[in-house]
Structure 1
Amino acid sequence: MHDQQNDPSLALTELRRRLAGGLARCRLDKTRLARKAGLGRTTVWEAFRAGKPVPSDRTVAALAHALKLPEDELLELRRSAAATSTSAAESGERPGRPIGEWEPHALEVHPAGPAPSGSGSGSPEQRVLPGYVLRAHDRVLADAVREAGAGRSRMVVVVGTSSTGKTRACWEAVQPLAEQGWRLWHPFDPTRAEAALEDLHRVGPRTVVWLNEAQHYLGDARTGERIAAAMHHLLIQPARGPVLVLSTLWPEYATRYTALPAPGGPDPHSQVRELLTGRTVSIPDTFDARALAAANTRAENGDQLLADALTRTRADGRLTQDLAGAPELLHRYQHATPAARAIVEAAMDARRLGVGLHLAQTFLTDAAADYLTDTDYDQLTDDWAEQAFAELARLVHGKQAPLRRAAPRPKRRPPGSPPPATASHPAGPVFRLADYLEQHGRITRSHLCPPASFWHAAHTHLTHPDDLAHLAQAAENRHRLQWAHHLRLRAADRSDTDVPVGLARVREKAGYREVMETFCRQTAAHADAHALIDGVRIWDEVGYQKGAETLARQAADHGHAHALTDLMRMRKETRNLVSTETPHRRAVELDVINGLLDLAWMRAEAGDLVGAETLCEHAASPGNADPQVDLAELRQVLTKFWPNGLDPDGMPTPPWQPSVPVLLDDMYRRTRRRGYSHLRLMRRFLQAPRPGSRSAE
């Protein structure tokens, strides 16, 4: 025994022999022994294996207790084997391995984007990292790396919320040290805290100590303060340096560890507070404009992962959260229970067909029914919906969830603004689909038509007129004409004046002419100029001239005099409708008069003299004497030179008086400087050639 204690190699051999004997007597294997001793499997295997470092005091004590061996004797052998007169650093056995041998995902850098097709298991190691964009915190990390490379030990703790790029920033920072032959140690097994506490004393020079998610090391109630003290000792011992300690931490933990204790109260984090002081750097949640511009440049140069993420995050700048959360979101959707998957697909279809961001729970629940197979539907329990929504609400990286509950923000209006016409917020909880899954649905489901339960749920539960109108158009595009009709009727009931226009289009296609009068009543009641003008366009296209003229006059009465002239232009097929309001009232009135007279001209050309006279009466509005004079002259012609009156179609009954063309020509010459249109239209209507023309002869 004395010789063994004096010879470190013999002492270690004897220690392992006794441990092996105890293992055989207890009839245990090393895996079961590790579980019984509360140690990691790797730690136990190395304690028994020749050529591995001397196990720690804690490991030997735990093994002795589990194997019922004399603890004091084994610890004495262990101390002799470790040759405590020399430091662990001098023994040549140091934790960690060269930085170049590490793979970033093994250091807990989040995978980004979906697994490549044909990649087998789709393990993170097979995925390519997106391009890296430098930000302000990277300069702090670069300075620490540069000083460590120059021989001065440093520690930096990157503080930020989940999936903001903390670990990736540390990985990018240490790459210059890889070229200098530095090692990296990531204490992890059996637990992070135990691994760090056991081997911190063995860390040698030119080593990066990787403490990702430092709350697992520094927040442990039993070992946190001891790890902080050992870390502090490592940093201040010149003989053990240079070393670089890189750590990440969530803000709530940083606040807790650095808070001063209450007077007279306990101080559970005094060592941790001292260690963190002056060694933290914050990382922002979002990319600023400069960082987004740099990311956009990389995307334009071929970085597909960044390009894809920017389509969803350009507005809010949460680029890293999207990259980190996307793979898990897709995995959760693809491996969801049938009920949860059905709800997600109903939400995907709703968003791609035009429904707003906030989806009512009642709508999604009812819509999901036909997305399920008969077998899955028969196996639903009474609380299937609650379980499915709870499953989809569980967060992934970046504080994202496949389908999270949302709270619509109230709209803020200036004082005195009129309240909204209708309350469009759905009753009950509303949910928002993750942006990544929404985009995935637009791509993968673009050629699919939602089942009947989707349209029924939309008709039953959706309340916003825009949502209903968009779905009505989507139903029409997919030849679901009955659903399109009923969705537009429901939208009309929600007091949206743009909807009857689309409703009229669908009904006109289906041959429902009675909707014309209904539309006129609805648009007149709402007094919405845009709907009125659109109605003018529709009725003129389908040949309902009187309806078009009625709506044009109603639009003019509401200050849109151009509706009349635009109708005339549409009739002449010279140009499209132009929404331009004349700012001066007199100009508006003249536009109305001229528009009416031009329409009268068209009426007369079509052979409807009574309609032409009616339009002239409308042109003779109060305060405008000229049209009244013209109308009087017109009536004088009609009563003096058409003694036989007009037939039921509004045509003059022959014989005409021979002096009629002469009188009209004289009236035209006397008044043409004023540009009165109805005199010209009367000449065209009567086809009366001017004196001296070949026709007159």
Structure 2
Amino acid sequence: MYDGPSDQNPALTELRDRLRTAMEQPGRSMTALGRGLGLGRTTVHTAVRRSGPPPSKRTVVILARGLGLPVAELVELWRRATERADPASVAGGGAGPGRPIGDWDPHDLEVHPAGTAPGSGPRAAPGGVVRRVLPGYVSREHDRVLARAVREAANGHGRLVVLVGDSSTGKTRACWEAVQPLAALGWRLWHPFDPTRAQEALDDLHRVLPRTVVWLNEAQHYFGDPVTGERIAAAVRSLLTVPERGPVLVLGTLWPKYALRYAALPAPDEPDVYSPVRALLEGRTLIVPEAFDAPALAAAVALAESGDRLLADALTRARTSGQLAQDLAGAPQLRDRYEQGSPAARALLQVAMDARRLGAGLHLPRAFLVDAATDYFSQGEYDQRADDWAEAAFAELARPVHGKQAPLRRAVPRPALRPPGDARPGEAPAGPAGTVFRLADHLEQHGRAVRGDLCPPASFWHAAHTHLTRPDDLYRLAEAARACHRLQWHHHLCRRAAHAGHAGALLRLSRARREAGDHPGADSLLRRAADAGDVDALLNLAERRERAGDTAAAEVLLGRAVESGRPYALLHAGGRRERAGDPRGAEILFERAADAGDPDGLLLLARDRKLAGDLEGAEALYQRVAATGSPLALFQLVFMRGAAGDMEGAEALGQRAADAGHPHALLQLARVVEFEGDVERAEAICRRLVAIGSVPAMLDLADMRERAGDLAGAEELARRATRTGRPEALLHMARKRREAGSVQEAEAWARQAADAGGHDALLYLAELRTEAGDTQGAETLLRRAADAGHADKVENLPAIAAKWRYGLDPDGTPTLPWH
């Protein structure tokens, strides 16, 4: 209960008098004042009446600001007034500081955001609300220790635990998960924060009621100042040791450097400024490891496989390092730094994104990044660049986000230390390569998503040709240029890679020379590639020697290819043994290829055994390959059971495959069953697959219903498939509309498929535009496909292919003759 009228509490009397005097100025009313400040009339009246409990600190601060009074002086009066009041009597609903745990958003407690809900975020529809979500939680060893402290607090014992770990290792999230059982028991949570963390803690720790969690995240802000830290440590100790104050649970987090600072004993001639903090924390800190261990990673994988998209995304980058928490914490900030950065910083990031997605190595030379950035600026941005724009941009991008990640950081490659003379084909010579930078893994992945349909500008290709020296980088970018139909840059980059000794580039140039009719030049390049150990070149040269009748030389070349251990070389050699009538030799090579990761040879052997009537031997081989997850082997097993009349066994085997994530075999069985006339059974199989969300099964079932005359059922299934947003479903609907004679609707569906990432839809649209006589529209669509790395689509429209014979310039215009 409140300890008496205000005349027994001088500080409270003075506080109310000063508030009342200010309110009684002419033209002021309690109702208008409360409305203007967002306070109720009753709240304002209670703050100034002569009896009753003191007002809350929040009310005092708001009134002081609104009335033009010195806030600090009134807060000090309030603190002195409340020191004489029973904690339960202070205004604020009859409770101490804080609010029910269930009323808190974890992000307001400084749990790092990891992502937004689908349909939310910066790309959401206008007026949409950004909804931050947390990934599933993986419990680790420190969580079990923390959970024990929470149980003890729930059982009436005051506890303090401070989690110690580097930035973004999951400390605050661990605290949030730990207190959830207390929410159901009616506990409150208080996070001292305003006007400063330390000030509110000093002001209100004495008001904390039993069954409260005191949240001291980033505890250095509370304990770091030698003066206030000592007072806060003393107040926390009192909270934990005075029986009538408890139970309370105090949770904090610290970086290791602060924990070490507070634990260190001073030199004999130095003051011991952290003695109270050290005494408070002794035996109450808990280490949070930097990385997830193997069991924690396995648990994270299980959550990802059950549909946790945030964990699944983070695992693609952080599974090897185990630093999942850091990746999750840093990802949103990295995206913000990309989207909200300066034009120069954004240009450098886009260069790095394009380089990585098109095949360049991890370490990108500074000179390449700077020169390549030229065409990533708008003309206005380019004109306004300062002389030191690059230095400023690199400095901006070097500043880290949560998890110690920087968008683009300077890197120091480790030297490859090998015995003298152990040079490897395609490897750049050892030695300094100047300053190099590495793009953050998350931004690399983000770049693939947001820039995957774009062809880099001319400055990118020119800088790559000028500054990149690693043969692998040059060759991969040459192949990317070819995939984008930038044939001139493909040629020049390929020549640079070949000059540096890249075997694949030599082989590519050899083929180009042969197509141009220069057979001696092609043979010379092919021999150079074979001498460099390229397996494709060795196999190609072996075939040429064999056709020329030089069997001995062919055998030597083939033997060199087999020695590489590459699966396709083993398959090639096995096929040759099989054609030569040496089945045992072929089987040995196919076995080696399977052990090296390619079971296609065993599938050939299984097929041969089946054709020879050895069904048991064939099934044994198919079972072995099916164990690797091969859909083709699974289908063959299903088909063999069905062909043997064991349809139930075939379906059961197909269902097991579907349950394991391989529905193709069961769908193929449905197609075979329908072809043989059992439509009812085929539809039943498809319906089972539809029930687990198989889009191909929806489309197959739609076709079956259409053939059965159920047009309404077919339409509903097709529309259900399109609602998944899968490009193949949208394109299926486009084809159906075209068959029905509605070309306009067909185009609309095909455009949706193209926008969803279906590059086949671009070709389909180009064909529709060509039929309509819109050659320019068809070119625009094919250019989109080429920009996205699907230049193979160009050959399907001969008139455009002829116009683009020499390729495209980076800006998309047809290249003039250059060879």
TM-score by length of 1: 0.70
Q: How does 1:464-613 map to 2 (within 5 A)?
A: 464-513=470-519, 515-519=521-525, 522-523=528-529, 526=531, 528=533, 530=535, 532-536=537-541, 545=548, 552=554, 555=557
Aligned to 2:429: 423
CA distance in 2, matches of 1:315, 1:569: 38
Q: CA deviation at 1:495?
A: 2.7
CA distance in 1, matches of 2:70, 2:496: 79
CA distance in 1, matches of 2:95, 2:269: 45
Task: From the superposition, tell whether residues 374 and 252 of structure 1 become closer, same or farther in structure 2 (CA, over 3 Å).
Answer: same
Q: CA deviation at 1:118?
A: 4.3
- 2:351 maps to a residue whose letter is A
SS at 1:223 equivalent: helix
Q: Which moved more, 1:526-535 or 1:311-320?
A: 526-535
CA distance in 2, matches of 1:116, 1:340: 28
Q: How does 1:276-675 map to 2 (within 5 A)?
A: 276-413=281-418, 418=422, 422-423=428-429, 427-513=433-519, 515-519=521-525, 522-523=528-529, 526=531, 528=533, 530=535, 532-536=537-541, 545=548, 552=554, 555=557
Q: CA deviation at 1:446?
A: 2.1
| Kept in 1: contact 2:190–2:214 (CA 8 A) | yes
Deviations 1:446-502 (A, max 9, x none): 222111111111111111111111111111122222212211211122233443112
Query: Which residue of 184, 192, 195 corresponds with 1:187?
Result: 192
Q: CA deviation at 1:224?
A: 1.1
Deviations 1:123-164 (A, max 9, x none): 998212111111000111111110111111000000011111
Aligned to 2:223: 218
SS at 1:367 equivalent: helix
Task: From the superposition, tell whether residues 523 and 383 of structure 1 become closer, same or farther in structure 2 (CA, over 3 Å).
Answer: same
| Kept in 1: contact 2:575–2:586 (CA 8 A) | no
CA distance in 2, matches of 1:447, 1:403: 22
SS at 1:222 equivalent: helix
Q: CA deviation at 1:317?
A: 0.8
SS at 2:250 equivalent: strand
| Kept in 2: contact 1:111–1:124 (CA 8 A) | no
Aligned length: 549
SS at 1:235 equivalent: helix
CA distance in 2, matches of 1:528, 1:116: 49
SS at 1:522 equivalent: helix
CA distance in 2, matches of 1:261, 1:114: 47
- 2:361 maps to a residue whose letter is G
Deviations 1:566-624 (A, max 9, x none): 8998799879999999xxxxxxxxxxxxxxxxxxxxxxxxxxxxxxxxxxxxxxxxxxx
SS at 1:463 equivalent: coil
Aligned to 2:743: none
| Kept in 2: contact 1:23–1:67 (CA 8 A) | no
Task: From the superposition, tell whether residues 69 and 470 of structure 1 become closer, same or farther in structure 2 (CA, over 3 Å).
Answer: closer
1:113 equivalenced with 2:115 (yes/no): yes
| Kept in 2: contact 1:137–1:283 (CA 8 A) | yes
CA distance in 2, matches of 1:462, 1:444: 25
| Kept in 1: contact 2:409–2:439 (CA 8 A) | yes
Q: How does 1:150-189 map to 2 (within 5 A)?
A: 150-189=155-194
Query: Which residue of 90, 94, 102 corresponds with 2:96?
Result: 94
Task: From the superposition, tell whether residues 460 and 47 of structure 1 become closer, same or farther in structure 2 (CA, over 3 Å).
Answer: farther
Task: From the superposition, tell whether residues 226 and 449 of structure 1 become closer, same or farther in structure 2 (CA, over 3 Å).
Answer: same
1:138 equivalenced with 2:143 (yes/no): yes
Aligned to 2:240: 235
Deviations 1:503-534 (A, max 9, x none): 2123334555453254156357x464747514
Task: From the superposition, tell whether residues 403 and 23 of structure 1 become closer, same or farther in structure 2 (CA, over 3 Å).
Answer: farther
- 2:346 maps to a residue whose letter is R
Aligned to 1:18: 18
SS at 1:291 equivalent: helix
Deviations 1:600-654 (A, max 9, x none): xxxxxxxxxxxxxxxxxxxxxxxxxxxxxxxxxxxxxxxxxxxxxxxxxxxxxxx
Aligned to 1:6: 7
- 2:363 maps to a residue whose letter is H
Q: CA deviation at 1:292?
A: 0.7
CA distance in 1, matches of 2:525, 2:581: 25
Aligned to 2:742: none
CA distance in 1, matches of 2:142, 2:191: 22
Q: CA deviation at 1:240?
A: 0.4
- 2:115 maps to a residue whose letter is G
Q: CA deviation at 1:16?
A: 2.5
Of structures 1 and 2, the larger Rg is shown by 1
Question: What percent of counterpart residues are identical?
Answer: 56
Q: CA RMSD in A?
A: 4.3
| Kept in 2: contact 1:116–1:127 (CA 8 A) | no
Deviations 1:509-560 (A, max 9, x none): 4555453254156357x4647475145168679x9x59x9898588489898
CA distance in 2, matches of 1:153, 1:568: 73
Deviations 1:364-384 (A, max 9, x none): 111111222222222222111
SS at 1:297 equivalent: helix
Aligned to 1:662: none
CA distance in 1, matches of 2:190, 2:75: 28
SS at 1:208 equivalent: strand
Q: CA deviation at 1:12?
A: 3.6
Q: CA deviation at 1:442?
A: 1.5
Q: CA deviation at 1:87?
A: 3.8
CA distance in 2, matches of 1:221, 1:124: 43
Task: From the superposition, tell whether residues 390 and 49 of structure 1 become closer, same or farther in structure 2 (CA, over 3 Å).
Answer: farther
Q: CA deviation at 1:390?
A: 1.4
Task: From the superposition, tell whether residues 471 and 511 of structure 1 become closer, same or farther in structure 2 (CA, over 3 Å).
Answer: farther
Deviations 1:420-441 (A, max 9, x none): 6741666221111111111111
Q: CA deviation at 1:212?
A: 0.2
| Kept in 2: contact 1:89–1:203 (CA 8 A) | no
Gaps in structure 2 of 5+ consecutive residues? 28-38, 590-819
Q: CA deviation at 1:353?
A: 1.3
TM-score by length of 2: 0.60
CA distance in 1, matches of 2:106, 2:75: 39
SS at 1:227 equivalent: helix
| Kept in 1: contact 2:542–2:554 (CA 8 A) | no
| Kept in 1: contact 2:513–2:522 (CA 8 A) | no
SS at 2:316 equivalent: helix
- 1:408 maps to a residue whose letter is P
Task: From the superposition, tell whether residues 549 and 200 of structure 1 become closer, same or farther in structure 2 (CA, over 3 Å).
Answer: same
Task: From the superposition, tell whether residues 371 and 149 of structure 1 become closer, same or farther in structure 2 (CA, over 3 Å).
Answer: same
Aligned to 1:246: 251
Task: From the superposition, tell whether residues 383 and 55 of structure 1 become closer, same or farther in structure 2 (CA, over 3 Å).
Answer: same
SS at 2:227 equivalent: coil
CA distance in 1, matches of 2:165, 2:133: 24
| Kept in 2: contact 1:532–1:552 (CA 8 A) | no
Task: From the superposition, tell whether residues 513 and 416 of structure 1 become closer, same or farther in structure 2 (CA, over 3 Å).
Answer: closer
CA distance in 1, matches of 2:185, 2:431: 61
SS at 2:409 equivalent: strand
Q: Which moved more, 1:90-99 or 1:272-281?
A: 90-99
Q: Which moved more, 1:283-292 or 1:213-222?
A: 213-222
| Kept in 2: contact 1:312–1:435 (CA 8 A) | yes
Task: From the superposition, tell whether residues 132 and 82 of structure 1 become closer, same or farther in structure 2 (CA, over 3 Å).
Answer: closer
